[in-house]
């Protein structure tokens, strides 16, 4: 019997590479399933999910608001910032109240980072720039400030930029909860049995990486974008941890609060019923 191929799409960064290490390197008994990994930036994945391009995909929690009819949110695979997260950075400090008068380079309009920033200031001017070009965009004077995600959260100061706001800390002060950034979703059309099987394997892959951290980190270093091992280990620890194995009650509440607040503020068009698929 020909093995069933499951397409899994995620970002080409160190935390996702760490998370999917066991599946990407055949460390797990998949029961005949073959996993095909597709790497792309998160905003592209957000857009492709509208067409159900992949069976499983990393998406922004913001984007999930527009996908809940097609995809279910897996209980494992979360990227959450617990008192840290995406940052607005600039060459020179300015007051948060001045955001509305500045041009901000953002990594995509469906990213959770952008949704959180709009909760802070809904009326700023923005320009969409690939996430890995935002720091240079600010340095070149093409934008007044940049909204940085991924490894740039640890490297922006090396480029001489200064922090205007850490959105993860801001969200914590607002709610006492971690900031939900990304999650793994699975196509509802796959059916309940296949969904549960894939959910279990994805959870096992995350747990395997945490249990075999040194080898998983060595694999992740291929995608660390100029981070040394120490910084890569720190970055992976920020976004692959107990909340990634399972959202838990606190993580589930964070997702629902984030989307409920966005709806109440008119930043997404409808309320989002959030279901979590357990392994």
Angstrom distances, CA of residue 71 to CA of 4, 86, 191, 274:
19, 25, 11, 11
Which residue in 150, 219, 263, 270 is the catalytic one?
A: 150
| Torsion region of 193: left, alpha or beta (phi above 0 gives left; psi -120 to 50 gives alpha) | alpha
Q: What is the dihedral of CA 250, 255, 256, 262, to 10 degrees?
A: 140
Percent of the chain that is helix, strand, coil (3-state, to 5): 45, 20, 35
Quick one: which of 156, 141, 107 has its CA closest to 127?
107
Whether residue 150 lies in the annotated active site: yes
* Residues designated as active site: 150
């Amino acid at each position: 019997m020909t093995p069933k191929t499951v397409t899994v799409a995620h970002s080409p960064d160190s935390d996702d590479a760490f998370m999917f290490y066991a599946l990407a390197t055949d460390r797990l008994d998949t029961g005949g399933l073959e996993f095909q990994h597709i790497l792309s930036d998160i905003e592209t994945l957000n857009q492709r999910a509208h067409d159900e391009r992949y069976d499983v995909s990393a998406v922004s929690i913001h984007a999930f608001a527009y996908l809940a009819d097609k995809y279910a949110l897996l209980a494992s695979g979360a990227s959450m910032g617990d008192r840290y997260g995406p940052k607005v950075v600039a060459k020179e400090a300015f007051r948060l109240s001045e955001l509305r008068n500045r041009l901000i380079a953002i990594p995509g309009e469906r990213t959770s980072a952008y949704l959180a920033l709009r909760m802070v200031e809904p009326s700023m001017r923005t320009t969409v720039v690939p996430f890995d070009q935002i720091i240079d965009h600010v340095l070149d004077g093409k934008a007044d400030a940049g909204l940085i995600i991924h490894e740039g959260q640890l490297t922006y100061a090396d480029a001489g930029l200064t922090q205007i706001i850490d959105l993860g800390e801001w969200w914590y002060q607002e709610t006492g909860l971690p900031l939900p950034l990304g999650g793994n979703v699975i196509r509802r059309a796959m059916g309940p049995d296949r969904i549960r099987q894939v959910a279990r394997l994805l959870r096992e892959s995350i747990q395997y990486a945490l249990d075999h951290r040194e080898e998983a980190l060595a694999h992740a270093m291929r995608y660390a974008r100029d981070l040394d091992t120490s910084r890569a280990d720190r970055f992976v620890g920020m976004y692959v941890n107990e909340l990634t194995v399972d959202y838990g009650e606190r993580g589930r509440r964070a997702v629902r609060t984030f989307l409920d607040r966005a709806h109440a503020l008119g930043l997404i068009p409808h309320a989002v019923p959030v279901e979590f698929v357990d392994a």
